[in-house]
Structure 1
Amino acid sequence: MTPHARTPSPAHALTVDPGIRDLRGADRLLRRLAVELELPEGTFGCTHLVRGDRPRVAVSLSLPSEPYLRTTWARLAADGHGEPAAGLPDASGRAVLYPGARALTGTMTVAELIAGSAISGVTVLGAPGTPDPGTRMVTRDHVRPQWQQGELLLTATPARGGVLVPFESPVPTPCCADH
């Protein structure tokens, strides 16, 4: 059982603004960094929307310890991914890398999803309360929970057959892909 996560400590976090304009590109960057930098289990990699004159997506990494933070910071700066900044840009990052994320594939129950990952809860759009723990979740191999009030929560929607699917589609509609 994976312990449920609370907002990562900004003491071991850094943010990079690589100038990426879409979530899919930021997801690819985080997955590539996880491999290239050999990020340890317990790392959280999140995307953060940056609004203003130049809308874009920044990425943050929250690491399990100070030595990992120092090493990651140095390697990011040397590899030309942008100048790292200390801390998190906001408290509501969309998690791409988190404990248990790789195992969230196929169909599982809500209880299995929560027990096997850092996700602490599931909410269903338009429904009061939380879903029954035995409700089946079709992950579509794309589970992107978001930090909300210090908890990592997954928003889901009902789908055909009485199952749930994560709200965020792995193949977004073009009109909505960059929001």
Structure 2
Amino acid sequence: MTPPAAPYVLGVDTDATTLREADHLLRALAAELALPEGAFGCTHLVRDGRPRVALSLAAAGAEPVLRTARDRLAARGYEVRDGAWDENGRAVLFPGAAGLTGTLTVAELLARSAIDRVTVLGTPDEPAPDTWLVTRDHVRPHWQDGRLVLAAMPAVGGTLVPFEDPDPTPCCADH
């Protein structure tokens, strides 16, 4: 995860074990640290001896802010390092994210946010710009080859929805 023009990236190790928990922590930390409006905040699945969800923070021209954030997070007991955990972070905070609510066209989504591209599962082609996307107020694109890409899937009435469900059913929920 390296947004264009944001060479300084901060990685934060957490004890979060779910994406939902990591999303809440990321939003709380961004507010507490007063990150600038154009900041990127991503989650990264870490699969070593201690599976968890780590975070990364980046903002163009905000190296002093992130260095201060580094010190404050370390003082709170977080393991902090330079760089993201991997290049394929899942973006929770990104320019324009707050405006991606309700139903909008693919063209509107691309124009309003830092998302570079929309793909549709099961199809080789990108959707038409006038295709409606029902955001469910939960848009989580991923970094792919330096571009922010939203995976979507077909939904009722020819619309699309983001692939990631805002309220997933936990594994083995019926047990």
Q: TM-score range by the shorter chain?
A: over 0.9
| 5-14 vs 39-48, greater mean Cα deviation | 5-14
Greater shift in the superposed pair: 22-31 or 56-65: 56-65
CA contact (8 A) 2:8 2:63 kept: yes
Whole-Å separation in 2 of the counterparts to 1:94 and 1:9:
18
Tell me, yes or no, if the aligned pair for 1:49 and 1:57 is still in contact at 8 Å.
yes
What is aligned with 1:127? 123
Matched position secondary structure for 1:132: coil
How far did residue 63 of structure 1 move? 2.1
Which structure exhibits the higher relative contact order, with contacts defined as CA atoms closer than 8 Å and separated by 6 or more residues?
Answer: 1
Letter in 1 for 2:8: H
- In the TM superposition, structure 1's runs of 4+ consecutive aligned residues that sit over 3 Å from their partners are 5-11
Q: Cα distance 1:176–1:156, how it changes in 2: closer, same or farther (>3 A)? A: farther
CA RMSD, aligned part only?
A: 1.8
- Alignment-mate amino acid for residue 51 of structure 1: R
CA contact under 8 A between 2:142 and 2:149: conserved in structure 1?
Answer: yes
5 Å-filtered alignment, 1:1-179, equals 7-8=3-4, 11-64=7-60, 65-80=62-77, 82-175=78-171
Cα deviation, residue 78, structure 1: 2.5
**C-alpha contact 1:11 1:87 (8 A) present in aligned 2:** no
Unaligned runs of 5+ in 1: none
Q: Distance in 1 between matches of 2:68 and 2:172?
A: 36
Any stretches of 5+ residues in structure 2 without a counterpart? none
Quick one: distance in 2 between partners of 1:79 and 1:11?
A: 25
Contact preservation (8 Å) 1:10, 1:88: no
Once the two structures are superposed, residues 41-83 of structure 1 have per-residue CA deviations (whole angstroms, 9 ceiling, x without a partner) of 1111000000122111100001222212212112222333x02
Whether the 8 Å CA contact 2:3–2:58 is kept in 1: the answer is: no
Change (3 A) 1:176 1:30: farther
Q: Distance in 2 between matches of 1:110 and 1:40?
A: 26
Q: 1:93-127 CA deviation, whole Å, 9 max, x = no partner? A: 00000000000000000000000000001000001
Instruction: Give the % identical residues.
Output: 62
Aligned residue pair count: 172
TM-score, structure 1 as length reference: 0.90
